Amino acid sequence: MKQTLRGRLYVILTASSIIPILLIGGMSVYSIASILANKIDKGIQSNLSIVQHNLEKTLENLDYTSQQFTASGLIGQTMGEILKSSDSFEMLALRNVMQENITLLNFTNPIVGLTLYYDTETMEVLHSNQITKELRFEELPALLVTRGTSYYGPHQSLYRYSDNLVFSQTRYFDITGEFKSRGIGVYVETNFSHFQSILEPHQYGMDAFHLLVDRDGKVLYSENETLYSAGAEFKPLSSNNYKEFRLQSEHGFQTVLYVDRNDYQREIRKWMFQFLLAALVSLSASVLLAIAVRKTVYKPLLNIKKGISLVAGSQLDTEMKKSGLLEFDYIIDHFNGMRHTIIKLIEKAEQEEKIKRIIEVEKLMAQINPHFLYNTLNTIQWLARMKGDSEIDRFVSLFTNVLNYNLAKDGMIVTIRDEIGALEDYVELQKVRYDYLFDVRIDAQEEVLDERVPRFLLQPLVENALYHGLKDKDEGGLIQVIVRRADQALSIRIVDNGAGMDDEEVRQLLQGTQHKSGLGIGLNYVDKTVKSYFGPDARLIISSERGIGTEISLMLPTGGGSGNDSSVDRG
């Protein structure tokens, strides 16, 4: 099998690019993938350490805050005075002082939200800075329990109008300063947004979720209830869809993070994509070099081949461009010279064909004029026998005008105004002949009167309506001649109320095969004349119905010019 020059160039240049890419790229991919994996692991582990640190710091803040509510704290001392007082006014003043201190505490420690005192036996709220839900500490997930103090979370806030997740702490309060297992308790929880700022899965830039596991291996909190539910026993995932990271807190609980492996490997895939993109650019550069060589050597050959194909397909309007290479330009110059010679020969043949068509139209004119002259002479003879000389004088005058116009002594192209003038003379002659048994009404827009058209268009159409439609009509015959501008065309309509025609008669008229009383010769002439002058956009349309009448329409593009044959429509 023979190889092409283009194929061989592509193979050589592509191979010279692929071999270095495979050798150097293979080693680079392995090394950089390991480096990126280590970098991602360290980044995730660092973020998880920050989460763990923030959790421990949150517990420390809760512990510090709750101490302010004990008997030794500023707020707790005020609460102790309230509990010891029996004066209602004094108690009210002390509660206001305590509320101001709580507000100041919230301002200086913004992570603190709901705070309250409660009766440890009745679980009745004694004082709270917000409206609370029912107190059921036994249902809260215990994160850490020490002597006299319990840490919970994450759980829904005890604020009545919120379901946001918070961390919280409870501890006992004693006005004597001595520890008691029953009495007054203190409850403090974080605000609504603090929890979300700590356990924010989007901080890793990947699809991830957290777990909090207590020291007994029970799941306290899960961001993915489908895989882990709160209260269930924690077991590492066996699925390869996630990568696990875990940290142990000094308080005994664990913070676990699961990252989607697809996201985990995204940066590696991104680098691989960049590597492949670089390889593709290298290959593309090789292809561009091959294209450059092709333009220099192979493209001129294709250009010559295309030019030969166009000439073989009779498409001669595209000139072959030079390549800039002396050897190829020599061939191209001679080929373009041959193409110009062919175009001139074709134009010469078309001109000869156009002349033949004009001669054919003139021959039709020669057929029509004797026929018209014969009928007119018969009329003159009839008038000479039946009427006096005064009528003959006018009739001969009209006949002379029409004859001179039809002989086209002033040229073949006239205006609509000239056509209408000649038509009026012709109609006057025919009215005399038919004893005024028909009427012809001409309606032409003023703006179309100076449009230029071939001579002798209206008379053959009116003659057809007169002979074919009204010949046997005793009286009341009407022919309307309507000339209008329609869009970019000139519309000429000849409408009569005569006998009408069937489809076969219309076909014979258009083909020029019906010669009864000279019929068909005029329409044949009009058809070929408008085709020759206006080209393929000109149309002759005949619409007829037996007993109703006939309408002949000409649609002529404005700004005439010669053109090729076009079809004639039967409306």
Residues with Cβ within 8 Å of 20's Cβ and at least 6 positions away in sequence, in order, are: none
Secondary structure (3-state) at 154: strand
For residues 243 and 151, membership in a common domain is answered with no
Query: Total domain count for the chain?
Result: 3
For residues 441 and 533, membership in a common domain is answered with yes
- The half-sphere exposure of 108 on its side-chain side, counting CA atoms within 13 A, is 10
> What gap in Å lies between CA 571 and CA 556, rounded to an integer?
16
Q: Where are the beta strands (DSSP E) in 67-224?
A: 112-119, 125-128, 142-146, 149-156, 165-173, 184-190, 208-213, 219-222
Q: Output the pLDDT for position 567.
A: 36
Q: Output the pLDDT for position 350.
A: 78
Full 3-state SS string of 277-342: HHHHHHHHHHHHHHHHHHHHHHHHHHHHHHHHHHHHCCCCCCCCCCCCCHHHHHHHHHHHHHHHHH
The backbone torsions φ and ψ at residue 428, rounded to the nearest 5 degrees and listed phi first, read -65, -40
> What gap in Å lies between CA 306 and CA 334, rounded to an integer?
15
Summarised one tens digit per residue, pLDDT across range 425-481 is 888 888 877 776 788 899 999 999 999 998 888 988 888 888 776 766 666 788 999
For residues 436 and 559, membership in a common domain is answered with yes
Nearest to 188 by CA among 173, 172, 167: 167
Which residue ranges in the chain fall short of pLDDT 50? 177-181, 374, 515-520, 560-571
50 within some domain? no
For residues 152 and 243, membership in a common domain is answered with no
For residues 182 and 74, membership in a common domain is answered with yes
Q: Output the pLDDT for position 206.
A: 79
The backbone torsions φ and ψ at residue 497, rounded to the nearest 5 degrees and listed phi first, read -110, 35
Give the largest CA-CA distance in the chain. Answer: 157
For residues 462 and 548, membership in a common domain is answered with yes
CB neighbours of residue 414 within 10 Å: 19
322 within some domain? no
Q: Which domain holds residue 208?
A: 200-264
> Given 249, 264, 279, which residue is the final one in a domain?
264
For residues 529 and 385, membership in a common domain is answered with yes
Whether this prediction's pTM lies above 0.75 is answered by: no
> What gap in Å lies between CA 461 and CA 481, rounded to an integer?
9
For residues 395 and 460, membership in a common domain is answered with yes
Nearest-5° angle of CA 177, CA 181, CA 182?
A: 90
For residues 467 and 547, membership in a common domain is answered with yes
CB neighbours of residue 511 within 10 Å: 13
> Given 264, 294, 314, which residue is the final one in a domain?
264
Q: Output the pLDDT for position 519.
A: 42
If phi > 0 it is left, if psi is from -120 to 50 it is alpha, else beta; for residue 456 that is: left
Question: Measured between alpha carbons, how far is residue 520 from residues 218, 356, 431, 526, 531 in Å?
Answer: 108, 21, 22, 10, 17
Nearest-5° angle of CA 510, CA 511, CA 514?
A: 90
For residues 403 and 482, membership in a common domain is answered with yes
Q: Output the pLDDT for position 188.
A: 93
Q: What is the CATH number of the domain that holds 87?
A: 3.30.450
